[in-house]
Amino acid sequence: MPEEPPTILVVDDDQFIRELLRRVMEKEGYKVVEATNGEQGLDVYQRLKPHLVMLDALMPVMDGFTCCKHLQKLSDEDETSPDSEHLEAQGLQGVSQTPVLMITNLDDPESVDRAFAVGATDYITKPIHLAVLRQRVRRLIQQFQLYQKLEQANRELQRLATLDGLTGVANRRRFDQYLDDEWWRMIREESPLSLILCDIDFFKKYNDTYGHQAGDACLRRVADALRFCAKRSVDLVARYGGEEFAIVLPNTTTIGASLVAEELRSLVHGLKITHAASAISEYVTLSLGVASLYPEPDTPPAKLVAEADMALYQAKASGRNRYVA
């Protein structure tokens, strides 16, 4: 499919200028939309999200400086990249925002400074030197598109950096971060935080019997079961280690967490994944440890993990395929 041409929004009260810019820019292969004052410009900007705004300074209703300031704000709100803070720290604020090219009769230094102060990316005076304009436009749009691509790649990388490659659930890094975040949130809300740690029973034997690839497939199915049981959007499922998984359950007491643990145990057993080498069942089973507490500022979240781990150990010691709370 051919790519859509970039869109340029021309905001000018002078019809002659608008028509000139449209003709020149369409010849360059761009799509052109028009507005006759700042207010209309903002409206079109929000609906069409152009790749470049050409902005006159003096216009009725809303002038170019005011319009530019508002554009800046709208562009900030669009900004979803977690990387924008980095860019700002390096003095690169605005690079990923829609470029605004001021095209105006005003050539006094104050107007130039004012335009850049309200967020203009570039400045050209009338009468327009068309060859210069073409080059500036090409460069501004190229840069904008490049930054958009970089930001998208960045977002994707950030997302992938939190996931476990085999099962698609959160990885250990994300687990640690989330547990810490929720620990502090529960302190503020004076609410209990629960954790379920679970471990596949006799999984080494499963690998030995069916091979590592079958082991991987089993891990994926168990991860899916965990995802199914963690029903609220705040419940986080993570791969804690090799064949160990965790569910963080905010605002949840021991009773609530135990219900989830039992549902999960029964669901995994009910999957009937054949495990001939298991000493306790003909199918793959889980042992689970449940811990729950009211977080306090001078206790680390590791305490919750240690308690869940102890409960898991007891579940193993007392026969497996069960939870201990």
> Tokens 């720290």 — which residue?
89
b/e 183-221 (16+ beta carbons within 10 angstroms → b): beebeeeeebbbbbbbbbbbbeebbeebeeeebeebbee
Residue among 151, 182, 243, 307 flagged as catalytic: 243
CA distance 313 to 325: 11
Among 201, 235, 307, 309, which residue sits at the site for ligand GH3 (rule: CB under 6 A)?
A: 201
**Nearer CB in complex with ligand GH3: 267/280:** 280
**Nearer CB in complex with ligand GH3: 51/275:** 275
**Nearer CB in complex with Mg ion: 128/259:** 128
CA distance 230 to 175: 14
Tokens of 204: 């080494």
Phi, psi of 285, deg, nearest 5: -130, 165
Q: Give the shortest CB-233-to-ligand GH3 separation in angstroms.
A: 27
Tell whether residue 203 is a contact of ligand GH3 (CB under 6 A): yes
Tell whether residue 242 is a contact of ligand GH3 (CB under 6 A): yes
CA distance 125 to 110: 14
> Tokens 């690079």 — which residue?
95
Among 56, 199, 235, 309, which residue sits at the site for ligand GH3 (rule: CB under 6 A)?
A: 199
- x-or-dash string of contact with Mg ion, 47-76, rule CB under 5 A: ---------x-xx-----------------
> Tokens 């052109």 — which residue?
32
**Nearer CB in complex with Mg ion: 164/199:** 199
Q: Which of 218, 229, 188 is nearest to 278 (CA)?
A: 218
Among 204, 231, 232, 272, which residue sits at the site for ligand GH3 (rule: CB under 6 A)?
A: 204
282 noted as active-site residue: no
Total residues in contact with ligand GH3, by rule CB under 6 A: 16
Hey, which residues between 119 and 158 contact ligand GH3 (CB under 6 A)?
A: none
Tokens of 167: 């099962």
Q: Which of Mg ion, ligand GH3, none has residue 166 at its interface (CB below 5 to 8 Å by kind)?
A: ligand GH3
For strands 193-200 and 286-293, give the pairing.
antiparallel
Stretch that binds ligand GH3, among 38-46, 147-155, 195-203, 293-301 (CB under 6 A): 195-203
Q: If you ran DSSP here, which 8-state letter would residue 28 be given?
A: T
Q: If you ran DSSP here, which 8-state letter would residue 156 be given?
A: H
Stretch that binds ligand GH3, among 7-15, 116-124, 199-207, 228-236 (CB under 6 A): 199-207
CA distances from residue 324 to 96, 192, 285, 320 in whole angstroms, order as listed: 51, 18, 14, 10
CA distance 230 to 261: 10
Stretch that binds ligand GH3, among 41-49, 111-119, 209-217, 227-235 (CB under 6 A): 209-217
Q: Which of ligand GH3, Mg ion, none has residue 144 at its interface (CB below 5 to 8 Å by kind)?
A: none
CA distance 80 to 62: 28
Hey, which residues between 201 and 260 contact Mg ion (CB under 5 A)?
A: 203, 244
Residues at the site binding Mg ion, with contacts judged by CB under 5 A: 13, 56, 58-59, 199-200, 203, 244
Q: Tell me which residues touch ligand GH3 (CB under 6 A).
A: 166, 199-205, 207, 212, 215-216, 219, 242-243, 316
Residues designated as active site? 243
